[in-house]
């Protein structure tokens, strides 16, 4: 499984989402996490592709999961369905 977090420097929600992702990583050993700056060329391509309007953007296995924040319980439930 691959999660991409699209982040913006100085974003509190992005920082909180990163902490959540790092915390749950131990529960899902096959989880790969990539952090992408929304302002980078790669980040802008993902923002455009998924029409992301707020940070962070969370993409799981090439599907937009959420934007603007991250609900830990919903994330864990979703990842369990993919395992």
| pLDDT band at residue 69 using 50, 70 and 90 as cut-offs | very high
What would the pLDDT profile of 16-68 be if each residue is shown by its tens digit? 999 999 999 999 989 999 999 999 999 999 999 999 999 999 999 999 999 99
Quote the tokens at residue 24.
């749950």
State the pTM of this model: 0.94
3-state secondary structure (DSSP) of residue 64: strand
Q: How many CB atoms lie within 10 A of CB 1?
A: 13
Tell me what pLDDT residue 83 has: 82
Domain 2-82: give its CATH architecture.
Answer: 3-Layer(aba) Sandwich (3.40)
């Amino acid at each position: 499984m691959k999660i991409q977090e699209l982040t913006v420097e100085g974003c509190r929600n992005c920082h909180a989402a990163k902490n959540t992702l790092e915390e749950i990583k131990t529960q899902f050993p096959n989880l790969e996490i990539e952090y992408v700056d929304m302002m980078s060329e790669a980040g802008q391509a993902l923002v455009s592709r998924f029409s992301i309007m707020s940070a962070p953007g969370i993409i799981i296995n090439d599907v937009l999961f959420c934007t603007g924040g991250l609900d830990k319980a919903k994330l864990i439930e979703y990842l369990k369905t993919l395992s």
